[in-house]
Structure 1
Amino acid sequence: MRKITTLGILTALVLAIASLMANRTSDPPPLTTLVGPFFDADYDVTEKFLSFRKESRFVRLRDGTDLAVDFFVPEDAADDSGSLTTRFPTILEYTPYNRAFALPGMALWERIALRWRTGLKEAIFDRSLSQPVRTMIGLGYAYVVVDMRGTGASFGSQTPLMPRLGSDGAEIVNWITSQSWSNGSVGMRGQSYVAWSQYATASQAPEGLQCIAPGVIMFDTFTEGTRPGGITTTRWLSEYSDHLQAFNLSKNDPDNGFFPVAPVVDEDGDGRWIDEIPLASSGDVTLFTDDDELIYRDGQLREQHYLARAVDEHKDNVLGRRLLEPDMRFSDAIQAFGNDTLSFIDTSPGAMLDKVAASGVSVLNLGGWFDGFLKGTTKLFSSMEQGSGMRMIIGPRFHVPEGVTPPYQDLLGYDGDLASDVVLEEIRFFDWCLKGIDTGVSEEDPVLLYVMNRGWRHEKSWPLERQEIQSLHLGPSGSLEPGIGEPGSDHYNVDFEHTADFGSNDTNRWILMRSPDSLMVRTELDERTLAYETEPLDTELEVTGHPIVDLWVSANQPDADVFVYLSDVSPDGTANYITEGQLRAGFHRMQDPKLQTRGLRPVRPELPWHGFRAEDYDANALANDQIVNLRFDLQPTSWVFTEGHRIRISIAGADAGNFELHPDLCSTGVAGQCSATTLTLHRGTAYQSRIELPVIPLS
């Protein structure tokens, strides 16, 4: 049993040893004092249970695979009203990122400091150290965290996003509802891959699953998670693949942010779990998987070697790098895993929507304006039947962290704690869905947006019904004008070294494991592009929705890539990035968007869709000086351009290091060795190259 005393430790991964010896900090304030002024800080999150019990165990699936599970059950009611409660609604987190971490090898003084500051007997960091999770347990939710097969301390192997993970999740839901501490109602939460697992599980319609709260996840795996516009996100895929497999092999490399997974079984029965992690004695000293003989810290022999055997099975995982191979360049590509075959649509949440809708679960979609998967958030919400149980919240965040980064807090004047704001909304959603409490959720408009440079606002739908599409046309001398100008064209010699990285950590919205440590300023980058901008605005202009570019392009090469960036240019010339989109010209032909849902339901919003199958690709789209229409959407946004600012779009032919360089133009993959490529942008009455902005009237 542990007392629920909020410690303010959100995760063990960032617990530096030096901080353990710092002055002991007082307990931080309750969650509701951290939320922003727009949110209901009076919503009651007073703990109703003062302690909990934790258990770690394996749950065996029908095929014999054992999954590692931690569960936390409330105990010790704060008053008589909860003293008879023994069955609880449950929140499930179903993850590939380790349900708990360990920090072996701490010196004695470090362990003493850890015990003094946190009360932990050893350096095992589980979800109960997270303030949101402790708050939920204290409110009377059981909390369950499960390592997917092929990850953490679970047995088995996987290829990322394989459908089998959804049926595994359904088995876990059924296991939860059979437990003596469960009242039969289950909700799910988590972000990214953990959000994908919610859609995959809900598509199997387990009886006890009532609602899910997926955050920052794609709709279509091919174009949103792998190849936006048909162009491979090489850096993201390679870095993420290595990162995920390091977790899956229980890598012990704290200097680079990797910690071994916490064991499930204390095999020697000494009350310590740390010593169940084998030592790495040969080869790669951060891994124990390449040791011929397993040696343990306490020198004792083991018979079952639970953790070692589980992690050894993870060696059979198919890595994300597989998606970088040339045979995976089209959306209808197939990969094999054991006796199964897997296509991109098999892994796409959008293709699961029909089954998710039929299951009847309520969904709270969570997104961020600078998240690489943002388009997925809006499409998942809009493509479902609307009702009181379908909701969406989008704030000014990246994929990680869950809050607003300091540079954007300053730029936007954000005066709340977005991470706490969203947790409070999750609690209200779960209280309504799982406990039947009238939290006001069902009476509110279902869409909650943070309009950048303005603030939070409820809306009835997405896209906004009152949006007005306003076109700005490419004009002479780099102008961007409301009216169609005289016929003409502009030439751009592609700079293959152009790279859209920001901050001292050289990152952007596509590198989903971190966020830029500065504002995304394109002022200097735009000097390497072909840019068009308006005159200074004489009044403010709100753009909320999906901007679409419609370009007429020719080139001196048979194919090319086109990247478009939308920026806000302040009077001092600073160009702040807002959003972007891209398309390989070979995919210029439009296709039926319902391909994303296997034809089972319309995809909303109605956006340009290019299919991206092998049969959709035209390798000579620009050959023989053909002028081709490229119409594609940018990531959605909600931004107010203030009076005196300019609207700019900048056009590039590469984002080196982040996206692949076009293989037909850059066979070596080296920017300096690419074929000289000139893009020609055509404009005027016959070729109305433009950007279409979803403008919200000031009234």
Structure 2
Amino acid sequence: MTETAARIKEVRDGMRILWDVTITMDDGLPLAADVFLPEEPGRYPVLLSYGPYAKGLPFQVGYPTAWESLSGDHPDVAAGSSCAYQNWEVVDPEKWVPHGYAIVRVDSRGCGRSPGYIDHFSARETKDFVACVEWAADQPWSTGKVGTSGVSYFGMNQWQVAAERPRGLAAVCIWEGASDFYRDASHHGGILSTFWEHWYDKQIKVVQYGLGDRGPVNPITGLNVCGDETLSEEELAANRCDFGTVIRSHPLLDDWHGERSGVLENIEVPLLSAGNWGGSGLHLRGNVEGFLRAGSAQKWLEMHGLEHWTTYYTDYGRQIQLAFFDHFLKGVDNGWDRRPPVSLLVRSPGEAYEERAASAWPLPETAWRRLELDPDLLQFVEQNDAEPGSVEFSGGREVTFRLPATDADREITGPVSAKLFVSTDSDDADVFLTVRLFDPGGKEVTFAGAVDPNAPISMGWLRLSHRELDESASTPWRPIHSHSRTLPVEAGEVYEVDVEVWPTCIVVPAGYTLAVTIGGRDYENPELEDAVTMSNFKNAMKGCGPFLHDDPVDRPQRRDAARVRVHCGGDHRSSVLLPLQER
């Protein structure tokens, strides 16, 4: 059996480790990978990840605030591991190698120890990822069966690579990964998210290949995390796209965005899609849409809560992944194929969760309830028979409609949508919807979001000029907008618009009040006294996390100041559609 060439080979902590293995791409570019194997020689199924966060950068060093909360609040994450090999958003080898898996981590083109030009989620990256899967399938320590695994970026690009059907790919586990780069990630309802520009500065430029001696050092190997070359700032800039500027130059859903979204219908491999109730702004929608649209005959959806970096590493999440991969990579008859297609952790205030299984999404037992907006009472009503009226909001002023409290628990689980009749005094307007919860004393109840520790229940967005629906894909509970062109907006004209609110889950206890706030800018928790800051994000966490819509070009002052009127009753029955569940 021929051993794979590597920069450093060693046996430590119960693993054979091959540091800095070279995987050569079709254009001759060498990508760098680390391989973790069981000590006993043999052939093992492979779990592979490909991404930009630098395989040699420890989780604790690159993301210290996230690591502190993860390891401090969830001791099971560190139990049984030295944590020396923990990396951001990929599996811990010490938790997987003992179960008979080979772990492969690849630095994507231009990042970590892989040279090249950085162009995120591009066709070139997808081609590289495909080549890495096929390389792993051919190695002498591999059974030929490869699974892909990872969170966020390491999940998003799995939709793309799975659609290419590389040889050897046997199963994919996509944990909190967007599947539609436009609708899920770069533009919400047609409104530019500034997340990516800030993310690029804080999480990519700091691990770009060529930082060399100016970058961090792998504490285990002593190798430079970002390559042995030390390039100038000018050379580094020439080796990467200006991601924020490029996104801003593509305001509509065009071929550039299409290239960065997997053709979900082409996916055939067994699929586990895991989403986070607190993921509004990046991943939640994509995990649901990916599950619904993937062509796989064998596919499962799991939905959980807590932070973006938590559940993947806890015993709960790891045991789910292990059962999935054991079945499809090892052929273990563990009952996975008889598992219901949908499993949920139903969320209640106080971060309480109850496991539930279902046969489909949306849940088949959903009792859809359309409630109209009463502008006088500022409440939801079964039918607004009062005289037609309206309410007004602007960037700095919002309006909140409440569902009257009851003496019984009420559960909302599924997609939410709003049908609004709106007019504006401007040439365009942005509509922001926030689903919120208030306790019997009127205090807002927030939740641990995927990133923000004080997040509301869910959110939705729509730019008025992007109101055109994709009629072939839309349903009443899931309006999908085409975003292929902008429609004119005339001051004073009333327009019927459908707003997609991202899927959610909340048990509203007796005496609590569910509410929807309609406004003209991002939600901020009004009762928050000390906003949390994190090492890997620029802005303080005020309710929306880093998923803000504050670009001065995309949202000029006149847009933020636009006065918008929501018309109710009569011929303009503005309403919200809620997915109620029996308790």
Give the TM-score normalised by structure 2.
0.81
1:365 and 2:273 correspond = yes
Q: Distance in 2 between matches of 1:481 and 1:390?
A: 38
Residue 677 of structure 1 and its aligned partner are, at CA, apart by 2.8
**Structure whose residues are more often helix by fraction:** 1
Deviates more, 1:446-455 or 1:636-645: 446-455
TM-superposed CA distance for 1:75, in Å, is 1.2
Q: Does 2:412 align with 1:543?
A: yes
Partner of 2:292: 382
What secondary structure, in the 3-state scheme, does the structure 1 residue paired with 2:337 have?
helix
The aligned residue for residue 23 of structure 1 is none
The aligned counterpart of 2:48 is: 92
- What residue is the counterpart of 2:127 in the other structure? 167
Matched, 1:682 2:567: yes
How far did residue 94 of structure 1 move? 1.1
1:544-598 Cα shifts (integer Å, max 9, x gaps): 110101111112223211111111111010123211101011112222455xxxx
Q: Which one-letter code corresponds to 1:557 in the other structure?
A: S
Q: Secondary structure at the match of 2:517?
A: strand
Q: Write the mapping of 1:101-112 to structure 2, written as runs, cut at 5 A.
A: 101=57
Partner of 1:143: 103
Change (3 A) 1:141 1:545: same
Corresponding letter in the other structure for 1:425: I
Contact 1:100 1:124 in 2 (8 A): no
Q: Structure 2 counterpart of 1:328, which letter?
A: H
| Equivalent residue, structure 1, for 2:522 | 655
Tell me what 1:481 maps to.
381
The 3 A distance-change label for structure 1 pair 632 and 166 is same
Equivalent in the alignment of 2:250: 328
Q: How many angstroms does 1:276 deviate by? A: 9.8
Is 1:347 equivalent to 2:260 in the alignment? yes
| Structure 1 pair 261–606 and aligned structure 2 pair: CA distance change class (3 A) | farther
Deviations 1:401-428 (A, max 9, x none): 224xxxxxxxxxxxxx973211111111
Whether the 8 Å contact between 2:367 and 2:580 is mirrored in structure 1 is yes
Pair 1:209 & 2:169 matched: yes
- The answer to whether residue 323 in structure 2 is matched with residue 428 in structure 1 is yes
Instruction: Could you tell me which runs of 5 or more consecutive residues in structure 2 were left unpaired when the two chains were aligned.
Output: 1-9, 62-77, 446-455, 524-538, 540-547
Secondary structure in structure 1 of the residue aligned to 2:48 = strand
- Whether the 8 Å CA contact 1:150–1:157 is kept in 2: the answer is yes
Q: Contact between 2:36 and 2:93, CA under 8 Å: does it hold in 1?
A: no
Change (3 A) 1:239 1:313: closer
What is the rounded CA distance, in whole Å, between the counterparts of 2:390 and 2:476 in structure 1?
32
Q: Secondary structure at the match of 1:477?
A: coil
Which structure has greater strand proportion?
A: 2
> Is 1:91–1:189's contact at 8 Å kept on the other side of the alignment?
yes
- Per the TM alignment, residue 87 of structure 1 is displaced from its structure 2 partner at its CA by 0.9
Assess if the C-alpha contact under 8 Å between 1:472 and 1:690 holds in 2.
yes
Does the CA-based 8 Å contact 2:342-2:357 persist in structure 1? yes
The residue number in structure 2 matching 1:56 is 20
Q: Which residue of 1 aligns with 2:494?
A: 627
Correspondence for 2:223: 273
Given that 2:86 and 2:92 are in contact with CA atoms closer than 8 Å, whether structure 1 keeps it comes out as: no
Alpha-carbon separation, structure 1, partners of 2:116 and 2:336: 40
Q: Is the Cα–Cα contact under 8 Å of residues 53 and 107 in structure 2 kept in the other structure?
A: yes
- 1:446 CA drift (Å): 1.7
Distance 2:327 2:476 in 1: 28
Cα offset, 1:434, TM superposition? 0.5
Separation of aligned partners in 1, 2:88 and 2:157: 21
For residue 344 of structure 1, give the secondary structure of its aligned residue in structure 2: helix
Q: Aligned partner of 2:317: which letter?
A: V
- Give the conservation status (yes or no) of the 8 Å contact 1:382–1:604: no
The question of 1:289 aligning with 2:226 is answered no
> Equivalent residue for 1:581?
460
Change in Cα spacing, 1:604 to 1:93, as seen in structure 2 (3 Å) is: farther
| Aligned residues of 2:89 and 2:152 also touching (Cα < 8 A) | no
Choose the corresponding residue for 1:609, options 447, 458, 480.
Answer: 480
Q: Is 1:318 the counterpart of 2:241 in the alignment?
A: yes
Q: Which residue does 1:452 correspond to in 2?
A: 347
Question: What residue identity is the alignment partner of 2:114?
Answer: S
Local SS of the residue matching 2:389: strand
Letter of the structure 1 residue corresponding to residue 428 of structure 2:
D
Corresponding residue number in structure 1 for 2:403: 534
Identity among equivalent positions (%) equals 23
3-state SS of paired residue (1:72)? strand
**Conserved? CA contact 1:53–1:75, under 8 Å:** no
Structure 1 unaligned residues grouped into runs of 5+? 5-49, 77-84, 105-117, 265-270, 280-287, 293-311, 333-341, 404-416, 497-527, 595-602
Do the aligned partners of 1:95 and 1:194 also contact (CA within 8 Å) in 2?
yes
Q: CA deviation at 1:619?
A: 3.4
Q: What is the DSSP-based 3-state SS (H/G/I as helix, E as strand, rest coil) of the residue aligned with 1:143?
A: strand
Aligned twin of 1:442? 337
Kept after mapping to 2: 8 A contact 1:101/1:124: no
Q: Which whole-Å deviations, capped at 9, do the CAs of 1:646-697 have from their partners, x for residues lacking one?
A: 1211110122892036858x64x5xxx7675322111113111111001112
- For 1:318, the aligned partner's letter is C
TM-score, normalised on structure 1? 0.68
C-alpha contact 1:485 1:683 (8 A) present in aligned 2: no
Q: Which residue of 2 aligns with 1:190?
A: 150
Match of 2:66 in 1: none
Inter-partner Cα distance in structure 1 for 2:475 and 2:179: 11
Q: Deviations over 1:201-223 (max 9, x none)?
A: 22222221100101111121112
Cα offset for 1:73?
A: 1.5
Q: Is contact 1:491-1:678 (8 Å) kept?
A: no
How far apart, CA to CA, are the structure 1 residues paired with 2:373 and 2:424? 17
Q: Which residue of 1 aligns with 2:449?
A: none
Aligned with 2:120: secondary structure? coil
1:639 aligns with 2:502: no
Name the counterpart of 2:391: 491
Contact 1:551 1:690 in 2 (8 A): yes
Provide the secondary structure at the position in 2 that maps to 1:428.
helix
SS in 1 for 2:39: strand
Q: Which residue in the other structure is 2:36 paired with?
A: 72
